[in-house]
Amino acid sequence: MNRDKGQTIYKWIMLIIIIVLITSLVTAFATYQYLSNRGSIKSAKTTNTLSGLEYTLSQFRSELEEQYIGEIHDEELIEGAIKGYVAAVGDPYTAYYTKKEMDSIMEETNGNYVGIGIYMMVDKTNNAISIVKPMEGSPAEKAGLLSGDIITKVDGVAYTGSEMDEASSKIKGEAGTKVKIEVLRNSQTKEFEIVRQKVLISHITAKKLDDNIGYIAITDFDGGCSNEFKTKYQELQKQGINKLIIDLRDNGGGIVDEAIDIADMITPKGATLLITTDKKQNEEITKSKSNPIIKMPVVVLTNSYSASASEILAGALKDNKVATIVGTKTYGKGVIQQLQRLSDGSGLKITTNEYFTPNHTKINKTGIMPDIEIDLSEEAKTKLELTEKEDTQLQKAIEVLKEK
């Protein structure tokens, strides 16, 4: 009996020791895993999410195979799924592009464009696609499309502002082919059939006005814009200008570095040009690297379609007190996107940064207020071109420069 009792006590002691050892090992292992690899939980969650998505898509595919009476194109299904997945982020500027769309974007950015020749922008208030303006000499201009027209349909298919990328890709196409564009203009629907052509894109329009005032209009900030700006300015300088108007009206933006390079030509060396923050609120400050080549009085013209890189340039010049801003409040696109080309030729555009003016003024969904606010009449806003006398904003800019 005593022997049995002793064995029982021994077993209990050994059991307690084993439990303590196991508990210690499990605790030590769990602590090590947590400290050395905190990302494992996130990775597991991502893996589970992707597994669930894959399972759901496979179910959809099975149902389509069993019931859909038409032909199934796997590549189009995959592209559509990816587009929807990225669009569901809810950011109007984050998007997925197919290889064909990416090729078109890169060609346009480099100045080679085949289509009808229009600048477009999302009308956030009405979730519509608004024509900022037709390109000079483009098929769109010759057909009669105007600034302010709202694109409602392309080849009979309706599009909203959130579908501008899709509409844009449908508008583009091979030279010589036709596209039907339906627009809403002053509550009236109009339809245009336009032949696509190769459009030579020029970023800059320059001329000398009276009283030795130079005028440079920047239509966008695509590749080569800053070099073209510098060339045009130097040509005007040889003509004897001593004051300058930079027109950013209807300029929807483009490559940030192009706008920064132009700001660098006007601001003092070392001046802050741009402040950006990323997802982790890390701040990066961009400063002017060179001594200014433009040392004369400058007025910048803006309107509600001046967006993104236009706002970066206007904000840099305004805060550094090297230019007077005249016109109306800008669009308010204070975020920057990175465009990445993927290995299969497709692309992913992601909003990665928010930007602020040198004085740390917020731009996104706010816009930049001009120093001198001059609004245009509704009639003038819908005109493709204004004469110098009709253009009240331009006339105010000239008046301001005459006083300097």
In which band, very low, low, confident or very high, does the pLDDT at 50 lie, cut at 50, 70 and 90? Answer: low
In the predicted structure, residue 131 carries a pLDDT above the cut 50: yes
Q: Cβ(124)–Cβ(101) under 8 Å?
A: no
In which band, very low, low, confident or very high, does the pLDDT at 46 lie, cut at 50, 70 and 90? Answer: low
Residue 348 CA to residue 334 CA, distance in Å, equals: 19
What are the tens digits of pLDDT across the range 76-129? 888 888 899 899 999 989 999 998 888 877 876 666 678 898 988 888 788 999
Token pair listed for 45? 């969650």
Would you state the pLDDT for residue 49?
Answer: 64
Q: Within 10 A of 192 (CB to CB), how many other CB atoms are there?
A: 16
Mean pLDDT for 304-316 is: 96
What are the tens digits of pLDDT across the range 325-339? 999 999 999 999 999
Token pair listed for 9? 């006590």
Rounded alpha-carbon distances, angstroms, from residue 23 to 19, 39, 107, 286, 387: 6, 24, 63, 54, 85
Would you state the pLDDT for residue 105?
Answer: 79
Nearest alpha-carbon partner for 304 in 323, 322, 328: 328
Residue 295 CA to residue 239 CA, distance in Å, equals: 16
In which band, very low, low, confident or very high, does the pLDDT at 261 lie, cut at 50, 70 and 90? Answer: very high
Q: 161-167, long-range: CB within 8 Å, 24+ apart, which pairs? A: 161/92, 161/122, 161/123, 161/124, 161/126, 161/127, 161/128, 161/129, 162/87, 162/92, 162/122, 162/127, 163/129, 164/120, 164/122, 164/129, 165/95, 165/97, 165/101, 167/120, 167/129
Q: Cβ(247)–Cβ(303) under 8 Å?
A: no
In the predicted structure, residue 321 carries a pLDDT above the cut 80: yes
- Side chain identity at residue 222, one-letter code: D
Q: Cβ(108)–Cβ(118) under 8 Å?
A: no
Would you state the pLDDT for residue 331?
Answer: 94
Which range is most confident: 17-26, 40-49, 85-94, 307-316?
307-316
Q: Give the count of alpha carbons within 13 A of 219, CB side only.
A: 20
In which band, very low, low, confident or very high, does the pLDDT at 23 lie, cut at 50, 70 and 90? Answer: very low
Rounded alpha-carbon distances, angstroms, from residue 112 to 58, 103, 107, 202, 339: 40, 11, 5, 10, 18
List the beta bridge partners of residue 183. 151, 190
In the predicted structure, residue 386 carries a pLDDT above the cut 70: no
Q: Annotated catalytic residue: which of 104, 168, 308, 346? A: 308
Mean pLDDT for 371-390 is: 68
DSSP 162-230: GGHHHHHHHH---TT-EEEEEEEETTEEEEEEEE-EEEE---EEEEEEGGGEEEEEE--B-TTHHHHHH
The helix, strand and coil proportions of the chain, stated in percent and rounded to the nearest 5, come to 40, 25, 35
List the beta bridge partners of residue 284. 276
238 or 384, higher pLDDT: 238
- Give kind and range of the element (H or E) at residue 232: helix 225-238
Residue 386 CA to residue 176 CA, distance in Å, equals: 31
In which band, very low, low, confident or very high, does the pLDDT at 160 lie, cut at 50, 70 and 90? Answer: very high
Which 3 state secondary structure label does DSSP give 383? coil
What are the tens digits of pLDDT across the range 267-303? 999 999 999 999 999 999 999 999 999 999 999 999 9
Mean pLDDT for 206-224 is: 94
In sequence order, what are the residues at sequence separation of 6 or more whose Cβ sits closer than 8 angstroms to the Cβ of residue 75?
Answer: none
Q: Cβ(254)–Cβ(222) under 8 Å?
A: yes
Which residue has tokens 């132009």? 262
Would you state the pLDDT for residue 45?
Answer: 55
Q: Annotated catalytic residue: which of 250, 261, 319, 391? A: 319
Mean pLDDT for 362-390 is: 76
**What is the average pLDDT value for the chain, to the nearest integer?**
85
Token pair listed for 221? 């900030």
Residue 86 CA to residue 162 CA, distance in Å, equals: 13
Q: Cβ(97)–Cβ(346) under 8 Å?
A: yes
- Side chain identity at residue 34, one-letter code: Y
DSSP annotation of 346 reads: -
In the predicted structure, residue 231 carries a pLDDT above the cut 90: yes
What are the tens digits of pLDDT across the range 168-209? 889 988 889 999 999 999 989 999 999 999 887 778 999 999
Mean pLDDT for 336-348 is: 91
Would you state the pLDDT for residue 328?
Answer: 94
In which band, very low, low, confident or very high, does the pLDDT at 26 lie, cut at 50, 70 and 90? Answer: very low
In which band, very low, low, confident or very high, does the pLDDT at 398 lie, cut at 50, 70 and 90? Answer: very high
Rounded alpha-carbon distances, angstroms, from residue 230 to 37, 133, 218, 234, 258: 52, 24, 12, 6, 11
Would you state the pLDDT for residue 347?
Answer: 93
Domains and CATH numbers, the chain: 112-199 (2.30.42.10), 202-402 (3.90.226.10)
Would you state the pLDDT for residue 232?
Answer: 97
Would you state the pLDDT for residue 110?
Answer: 66
Mean pLDDT for 368-396 is: 76
319 assigned to active site? yes
In the predicted structure, residue 384 carries a pLDDT above the cut 90: no
Question: What's the chain's length in residues?
Answer: 404
In which band, very low, low, confident or very high, does the pLDDT at 1 lie, cut at 50, 70 and 90? Answer: very low
